[in-house]
């Protein structure tokens, strides 16, 4: 299947996107129970984009957030009390964020999980300051999310785009790549990510940038212009889903032999791999956070496969969602309860050396009043290559980020 076949899969991609949205819109129906915990519930507010541009990854994380809450409740809860989720959807629309967060606070939320697009989370910062509620962005990667101003109450786990830039630069140097072409979608989330990423990626010349609509049905013209610019490699930046599959199908057909890189999105969306043309993802290198040598990752895989089926493929979204809930559990216990937001915020800042469920086996998360990004060094990242079967085959042999603190 080449470029001519890409139009034939548009219908399937549209159906897949609708299926994702439908699943997301019903996710709140699968509310965790109290398990063996008793007493007054501890309410956690979840802002989950289940129908907007970030739904393709937010619904994956949202499902595992619910699973983590259920697992904690089944083991007695937090201080004997069950965790309870209240959920709203901002559709990754920055204009909807203030009302969504205020609604969650009005439902009694003591702390928030912001599982949405980066642009929406950026808008959340000032609202958090007004509400006085601490929040974690489980899958956030844009460094500005935890940078001043209004950053006192917001936290994130994973390595940011600043670290990504360093890793990409190491990869480009190792592969003798000096000229880069960029194919990007038109979402606000990716616009914010691109701005942060490319500002830090001064090691390479971007010779062409092409943009397509997130719901595009044809990217042939954009890829043709990229080809004319003669880059050494192409980087696709997108929220994933239908756009990413169409991009890789088209690039694979029109620019065969040109090295391709992508963000974490495609590596964390197994449902998208099945929609790609046979072999279309072979050789694609993406920014990964899952390392199967990490014993905590291995344990989470067992749990997820027990719940979701033996063929379930773990993603970084799963691991980061899982860790976010357990970090909140630890913070609530350290604070002596959830009712004092100032103590709860200070408790988050006191967490040191938390062994992460993603990244390399010695990767940890730590926070402080001045460190709202949990990642302790670059050990949360790796570059992963796809094989002929359109599945990740393992670490890219040419370059891996060094694990150092």
- The 10s digit of each residue's pLDDT in 71-113 is 999 999 999 999 999 999 999 999 999 999 999 999 999 999 9
**244 pLDDT exceeds 60?**
yes
For the segment 175-182, the average pLDDT, to the nearest whole number, is 98
**Residue 7 confidence (pLDDT):** 37
**Residue 23 confidence (pLDDT) above 60:** no
- Token representation of residue 21: 């949205």
Instruction: Give the model's pLDDT for residue 404.
Output: 59
Cβ neighbours of 378 (radius 10 Å): 22
Tokens of residue 270, six digits: 């197994």
Q: Looking at residue 339, what is its pLDDT?
A: 96
Threshold 0.85, pTM exceeds: no
pLDDT band at 292 (very low <50, low <70, confident <90, very high): confident
Computed over every residue of the chain, the mean pLDDT equals 91
Share of the chain above pLDDT 70, in %: 92
Of 165, 160, 159, the closest CA to residue 202 belongs to 165
The closest of 354, 348, 341 to 368, measured between CA atoms, is 348
Asked whether the bond before 149 is cis by omega within 30 degrees of 0, the reply is yes
Q: What local confidence, expressed as pLDDT, does residue 225 receive?
A: 98
């Amino acid at each position: 299947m080449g470029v001519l076949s890409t139009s034939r899969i548009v219908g399937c991609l549209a159906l897949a996107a609708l299926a994702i949205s439908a699943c997301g819109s019903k996710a709140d129906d699968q509310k965790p129970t109290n398990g063996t915990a008793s007493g007054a519930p501890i309410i956690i507010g979840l802002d989950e984009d289940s129908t907007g541009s970030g739904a393709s990854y937010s619904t994956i994380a949202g499902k595992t957030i619910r699973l983590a809450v259920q697992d904690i409740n089944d083991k007695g809860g937090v201080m004997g009390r069950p965790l309870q989720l209240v959920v709203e959807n901002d559709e990754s629309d920055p204009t909807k964020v203030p009302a969504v967060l205020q609604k969650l606070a009005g439902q009694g939320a003591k702390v928030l999980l912001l599982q949405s697009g980066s642009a929406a989370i950026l808008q959340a910062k000032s609202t958090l300051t007004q509400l006085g509620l601490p929040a974690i962005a489980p899958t956030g990667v844009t460094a500005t999310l935890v940078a001043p101003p209004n950053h006192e109450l917001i936290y994130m786990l994973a390595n940011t785009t600043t670290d990504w830039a360093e890793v990409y630069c190491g990869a480009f140097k190792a592969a003798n790549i000096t000229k880069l072409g960029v194919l990007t979608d038109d979402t606000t989330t990716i616009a914010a990510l691109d701005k942060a990423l490319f500002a830090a990626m001064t090691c390479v010349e971007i010779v062409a940038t092409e943009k397509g609509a997130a719901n595009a049905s044809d990217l042939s013209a954009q890829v043709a212009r990229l080809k004319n610019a003669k880059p050494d490699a192409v980087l696709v930046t997108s929220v994933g889903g239908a756009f990413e599959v169409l991009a890789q199908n088209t690039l694979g057909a029109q620019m065969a032999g040109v090295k391709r890189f992508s963000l974490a999105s495609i590596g964390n969306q197994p449902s998208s791999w099945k929609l790609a043309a046979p072999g279309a993802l072979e050789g694609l290198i993406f920014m990964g956070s899952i390392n199967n040598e990490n014993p905590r990752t291995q344990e989470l895989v067992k749990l997820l496969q027990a719940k979701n089926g033996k063929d379930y493929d773990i993603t970084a979204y799963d691991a980061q969602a899982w860790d976010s809930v357990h970090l909140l559990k630890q913070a609530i216990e350290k604070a002596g309860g959830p009712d004092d937001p100032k103590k709860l915020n200070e408790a988050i800042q006191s967490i040191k050396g938390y062994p992460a469920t993603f990244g390399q086996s010695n990767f940890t998360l730590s926070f402080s009043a001045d460190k709202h990004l949990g990642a302790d060094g670059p050990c949360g990242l790796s570059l992963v290559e796809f094989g002929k079967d359109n599945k990740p085959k393992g670490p890219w042999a040419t370059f891996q980020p060094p694990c150092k603190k």
